Structure 1
Amino acid sequence: MEQQLEEIREQQKASWNKFSPGWKKWDALMMDFLKPMGDEIIYLLNPKTSDIVLDIAAGTGEPGLTIASLVTNGKVVITDLSDDMLEIARENALLRGITNIETKACDVCELPFEDNTFDAISCRFGFMFFPDMLLAAKEMVRVLKPGGRIATSVWNGPEKNFWITAAMGTINRNMELPPPPPGSPGMFRCAKDGLIADLFQQAGLKNTKQVEITGKLNSKTADNYWNLMTEVAAPIVAALSKADDAMKAKIKKEVFEAIHQKYPDGNVQIDSSALVIYGEK
């Protein structure tokens, strides 16, 4: 792996390990938020009871744990860059009595599995972080059995995802942050219509399709929203770490104002939109 990609991978691993306590704290809310996308991935994969499934960039364990509850005579290998996130996934499996899983800390660009191992692969919100997305897709195809299915989700554009732009847009308005290099990992890197489907085809997949799935972040209050985003969202935390106290207070005030303007009744359920993409080997 090129040195630059290696550096990105190591930074991401450190970041996810660092933020794992926040993800554990907010797991119930985040999993409720991301469930519609996971449900669509599972629907498209249509796992059979004896399937061997790979869940990539699984974080705290979804949708891999739900898939494991369906493949009662099979198993799910749950992978992530971060050992600390996988520790939470194992705890979640234990709490739910799910035993047909394995966890493996690994990089999607160097999957430690034989060719033609898995019947299906799920990857919910992983592609935007992969340093080399085409290499990642090719690795997935390599370990997928002929006839196997892949489904992934990526975020749609910022105009449909107020749950991230409420905070990040306010930060960008107030702070002169350098724009990331084109194509570098980021929330909306994969939002372009057809981008992942084209990538899948380049990697050798066929019968690709894309659907839009909407959801809501049911944070209930602006306070909950702010605390969640400043404990799980690495780009927001990184940006705020560069701000002095006065600037942080100004940003927080403006975020609360934006939330209250959009949800004047105080019931903060923030819209989201994602694309779910499917392909077959």
Structure 2
Amino acid sequence: MTTPVSDSPDQIRQRQERSWSRSAHGWAGRRATFEAGARVVSHRLADAVGLTLGLNLDLADLACGAGEPTLTLARRLGPLGTLVGLDLAHGMIVEARRAAVQERVEDRVRFEIGDLEALPLADGSQDAATCRWGLMFAVDPSLALREVVRILKPGGRFAASVWDHARHVPMIALARDAAQATLNAPAPTPDAPEPFRLADRDALRARFLDAGFEPDSINVEEQMVTWEFLDAEEYCAFHLEVSAALADLYHQRPYEAQAAFRQVMSESAHQFADPHGIVRMPCRALIWQARTLN
């Protein structure tokens, strides 16, 4: 679930590709649950790059996962615009293409394999780019931001969401804590790719500046995201389905450890349950916006 400090960048990316590809089917299966909460961020990102309904833009969605927010962007894009969704994991691209067909927007978007730190796009080719909860998983986020600057046209817009500090994101943090407490999951190593890595606003602003974005354009806003689960058991099942690394760790442990994990997850989720047992977890995302120099 974490990255040993001795691993090379290429080894980290290879492991990420394998893990995310193996998780892709789970993400596709849980699309409705996740997007019910996450769609507010998808629309915020679309608004942030100026994508109004019917507008023609050349647009890239980076670290697109199983197809969002790319599909949300596709439904807004004008007929002369172009849209590419890029992700490191082949399995995610397979699911994204399948989702595009299901949503009947396959003629508006293409999906390709692409590393955040080596984007397969030409210099100055894009009017805008988005990245929903992917930047913190780049091996080198600063390099990823420089790549975004490279592919954007002068004055091009970029919008990205990252997570705030763990205490503000219980949906992820409680599962991480439960795995560490009961399954012997290792704690994250310093600056390893993980969900809360870019929560420090000053530090991430400095990365935007160093990448070459227009200083006065760099802005961050908070966005609350609430996920809903039928009960505490569904909350636990969700995490085991969308994380191959967690599922591997869980199934490698004896029954007693598995039971302890489920118990801790249940107790954690019950903090957010209503009288009917429905679990609603409010989490705080950070929406970053910036433009390249004209």
TM-score category, normalised to shorter length = over 0.9
What runs of 5+ residues in structure 1 fail to find an aligned partner? Answer: none
The answer for the alignment partner of 1:257 in structure 2 is: 267
Do the aligned residues in 2 keep the contact of 1:118 with 1:144 (CA within 8 Å)? yes
Aligned residue-pair number: 280
Q: Which runs of 5+ in 2 are unaligned?
A: 1-6
| 1:205 Cα deviation after fit | 0.4
What is the one-letter code of the residue matched to 2:155? G
Distance 1:27 1:86 in 2: 14
Whether the 8 Å CA contact 1:50–1:74 is kept in 2: the answer is yes
Structure 2 Cα separation of the partners of residues 143 and 35 of structure 1: 26
- Residue equivalent to 1:64: 70
Q: Could you tell me whether the CA contact under 8 Å between 2:86 and 2:111 is conserved in 1?
A: yes
C-alpha deviation, 1:137, in angstroms: 0.6
Which of 10, 13, 25 is residue 9 of structure 1 equivalent to? 13
Counterparts of 1:45 and 1:258, CA distance in 2: 37
Aligned to 1:169: 177
Q: Equivalences for 1:1-281 in 2 at 5 Å?
A: 4-47=8-51, 49-72=55-78, 73-98=80-105, 99-206=107-214, 207-265=217-275, 266-281=277-292
Letter in 2 for 1:240: Y
CA deviation map 1:167-223 (0-9, x unaligned): 222222335443332101011111112333221111000210000101111112112
Distance 2:286 2:274 in 1: 29
**Other structure's SS at 2:111 match:** strand
Change (3 A) 1:239 1:145: same
Q: Secondary structure at the match of 2:201?
A: coil
Call closer, same or farther: CA 1:180–1:167 in 2, change over 3 Å: closer
Output the CA distance in 2 between the equivalents of 1:277 and 1:234. Answer: 29
- For the aligned residues, what is the CA RMSD? 1.8
Kindly, what percent of the aligned residue pairs are identical? 28
Question: For the residues of structure 1 that align with 2:213 and 2:244, how far apart are their CA atoms?
Answer: 32
Q: Conserved in 2, the CA contact under 8 Å of 1:167 and 1:236?
A: no
What is the CA deviation profile of residues 70-100 of structure 1, one whole-angstrom value per residue up to 9, with x for unaligned ones? 1212021111011221121112211222112
When residues 155 and 245 of structure 1 are mapped into structure 2, their CA distance, relative to the original with a 3 A threshold, is same
